[in-house]
Amino acid sequence: MPRLHLHLLSDSTGETLEMLAKAALAQFEGAEVNRHFWPMVRSQQHLDRIMGEIGANPGLVFFTLANADIRVKLEERCRALGLPVVPVLDAAVAALEDALGQHPRARPGSQHAMDEAYFRRVDAIHYTIAHDDGIGWENWEEADIVLAGVSRSSKTPTSIYLANRGYKVANIPIVVESPPPPALFGLKHPLVVGLTTAPDRLVQVRRNRLLSLNQAPETSYVDPDRVAKEVQYARRMFADNGWPVIDVTRRSIEEAAAAIINLYNESRAAPAGMAE
């Protein structure tokens, strides 16, 4: 399969464009793609500099540009070079325009405006960082979601991902020798979710972690029998308290977070008393 140069041009941070490109490329296993990322393209002069690089590395061009003059110029110059150019959001915006009967506003980076949702996300990130690994249990009632699980069951990265989606998340390690604070079992507002994983996979993850820290890879922390008992102990706790459980053995962080968000939405949509 030949190597493809993929140029991503955005008039804002380019976060949306990168996610779309990543999702599309995931459908092509083994594809060799060299991505060139060009954010904050808001002037003709900037576009002129970029076109020199595109001409030197011809390939496919994806863009999200609100300014009509700049996008027309980009399309013209790409056609002159014989390069395919794709306005990746146009179909979605056109469909919304028809459905809403409203013209879109051509404002660069408008999806990143510092609105209420932005500040809610920042607040969620601050809360989540301050309540990692069992810290600040006195404030867990303020959380939207509390994640519980044994060590190395992806609690922290999942929490941070959810925080970036606007959810206040606390997480706590389940340790056989050190039971959680009683506050965990009396929470009313947060959705408590248990994270679990296959013991053999957990042993591998823990061993890799120890090696990365230059620590002895053979300790009770990675003993298969001990790890299996830890997982069993956590599962029993989840079941005894009626907490939903997500198995992260074969799930990416994004997939686990999506499953948790679904559980959260369902719990909030349920009539009072039904989510117990």
User: pLDDT in tens for each of the 276 residues of the chain?
Assistant: 568 999 999 988 788 888 888 888 888 888 899 999 998 899 999 999 999 999 999 999 999 998 889 999 999 999 999 999 999 988 888 888 888 888 776 655 555 455 577 778 889 999 999 999 999 999 999 999 999 999 999 999 999 999 988 999 999 999 999 999 999 999 999 999 999 999 999 999 999 989 888 887 788 999 999 999 999 999 999 999 999 999 999 999 989 999 999 999 999 876 554 444
Output the pLDDT for position 276. Answer: 45
Residue carrying the six token digits 């146009």: 90
**How many whole angstroms separate alpha carbon 61 and alpha carbon 6?**
6
What residues contact residue 205 under an 8 Å CB cut-off, 6+ apart? 152, 197
Output the pLDDT for position 196. Answer: 98
**How many whole angstroms separate alpha carbon 193 and alpha carbon 147?**
5
Q: What is the pTM of this model?
A: 0.65
C-alpha closest to that of 153 among 219, 206, 224: 206
CA atoms within 13 A on the CB side of 268: 11
Output the pLDDT for position 107. Answer: 59
Output the pLDDT for position 275. Answer: 45
Residue carrying the six token digits 């399969």: 1
